[in-house]
Amino acid sequence: MIHNYIENINRLFITGNAREHSYRGDLQDLLNKIIDDKDI
Q: Tell me the pLDDT tens digit for each residue of 2-33.
A: 999 999 999 999 999 888 899 999 999 999 99
Query: What's residue 18's pLDDT?
Result: 87
Round to whole Å and give the CA distance between 9 and 3: 10
28, 40 contact by CB (below 8 A) = yes
Round to whole Å and give the CA distance between 34 and 26: 12
> Model's pTM, two decimal places?
0.74
